[in-house]
Structure 1
Amino acid sequence: MAARENLLKHGLKNVNATFETSCTDSTAVEEKLFGQVEEDEDGEDGPVVFICGKCKLPVGDSLSWDGSEDGQNQIRLKRVTENVIVGKENRLHEVGKRSACLVVDLICQGCSSVLGMVYSSTPKSLDHKRFTFYFNVADIDSYVLGSARQMLAAEGPKEQPVTLEYRGSVEQQLTEMKMLVLSMAQRLEEIEIGLQEGCDEV
């Protein structure tokens, strides 16, 4: 539940089944990410996959959730996918007026976008920030597993794909039926001729 509240607080964008982003308010985000809260308050939310906001490669998921940074509009993950590259160059980052830290950037392997950072050196009071992946909410999107709704209408329970073998089988059956019909028509014609000849003799 805490993860859901933090995601909503930061207004993390949702992505539909085709990964097209949409800007929505917090109520719409709550409905899209977590379903109808009033109807399914006791049910569990599906896992959330976090993806690069630009190229849509997956970078992590909510099973690695470690919290959020309210003041910096960031989320924290304990683990990330191989699509995330940890930079090598340290840069200075000030958390507060007297809290200078060294950080390295988190870079998307697919499009080279900077998605967040990792604290490489901190004052003792901020040591808890190390060894965690910080993602900027503005640079990532999310997708809830199990949220897909679109389905193709099935034509019947015995529906099967049209393959070359299936097509050949159907054509063979049609040929056999055609021959049977022709044979029956010929036999019927012979019967009719026999009846006519019988009538003529009478």
Structure 2
Amino acid sequence: MFEASSINSSTVEEKLFGHAGEDVDGDDGPVVFICGKCKLPVGDSLSWDGSEDGQNQIRLKRVTDNVLVGEDTRLYEASKKSLCLITDLFCQGCNSVLGMIYASTPKNLDHKRFAFCLNVADIDSYILGSANQMLAAEGPKEQPVTLEYRGIVEQQLTEMKMLVMSMAQRLEEIEAGL
């Protein structure tokens, strides 16, 4: 299993795009976003659409089938004089609210319309390639198990089996002569 970490939208954006003027760190892989409660994957950074630090949300163009779009639309006041119609997003695994979709927005919020807005407080993330636990090598003579290597081992086992059977037969002959 992987270890999940708590995230915020500015940290995610830094990981994905770096700071303006800085080189992006090539060591970080794509980010997988997971439900904060049941850890089902809900999206990834390849569908990144932006973030909203003021609302502590990230926007994705696409999400996994583990995200269910609610059936009820309701009014939401994003700010004064900014009424929107939204629909809640739910996790299929634990039915917790993950965020919302803006179905109708004023002109200044059009960039949010029909994007999946996930609440950073309700999701965690995992950076692909960040795992660092490995099995210790047995030594410098350790070889990977290939078909060729397997064939050699099987041949050696067959030869050893024949040798043991031959020795057992000779031992029986010696015991019979006594």
Question: Do these two structures clear the TM 0.5 threshold for a shared fold by scoring above it?
Answer: yes
**Deviates further, 180-189 or 77-86:** 180-189
Q: Does 1:141 align with 2:124?
A: yes
Query: Structure 1 vs Structure 2: percent identity of aligned residues?
Result: 63
Query: More strand per residue: 1 or 2?
Result: 2
Shift of 1:144: 0.8
How many Å separate the matches in 2 of 1:158 and 1:188? 43
Q: Does 1:91 align with 2:74?
A: yes
Q: Does 1:69 align with 2:52?
A: yes
Instruction: Pick from 156, 164, 167 the counterpart of residue 181 of structure 1.
Output: 167
Does the CA contact (< 8 Å) of 2:7 and 2:120 recur in 1? no
Shift of 1:54: 0.9
Q: Could you say what the CA RMSD is over the residues aligned between the two structures, in angstroms?
A: 3.6
Aligned length: 156
Does the CA contact (< 8 Å) of 1:19 and 1:56 recur in 2? no
User: Taking CA–CA contacts closer than 8 Å with sequence separation of 6 or more, which of the two structures ends up with the larger relative contact order?
Assistant: 2
> What are the ranges of 5 or more consecutive residues in structure 2 without an aligned counterpart?
17-22, 147-152
> What SS does the aligned partner of 2:72 have?
coil
**Matched letter for residue 38 of structure 2:** C
**Matched letter for residue 176 of structure 1:** M
Does the CA contact (< 8 Å) of 1:85 and 1:109 recur in 2? yes
Q: Measured at CA, do residues 124 and 139 of structure 1 come closer, stay the same or move farther in structure 2, by a change above 3 Å?
A: same
Match of residue 60 from structure 1: 43
How many Å separate the matches in 1 of 2:87 and 2:108? 19
Q: Measured at CA, do residues 75 and 42 of structure 1 come closer, stay the same or move farther in structure 2, by a change above 3 Å?
A: closer
How many Å separate the matches in 1 of 2:161 and 2:28? 56
Q: Measured at CA, do residues 141 and 129 of structure 1 come closer, stay the same or move farther in structure 2, by a change above 3 Å?
A: same
Match of residue 149 from structure 2: none
Query: More helix per residue: 1 or 2?
Result: 1
Map residues 1-202 of structure 1 onto 2, 5 A cutoff: 18-22=1-5, 42-43=25-26, 45-155=28-138, 156-157=142-143, 159=145, 170=157, 175-182=161-168
**Deviates further, 120-129 or 62-71:** 120-129
Larger-Rg structure: 1
**TM-score normalised by structure 2 residue count:** 0.71
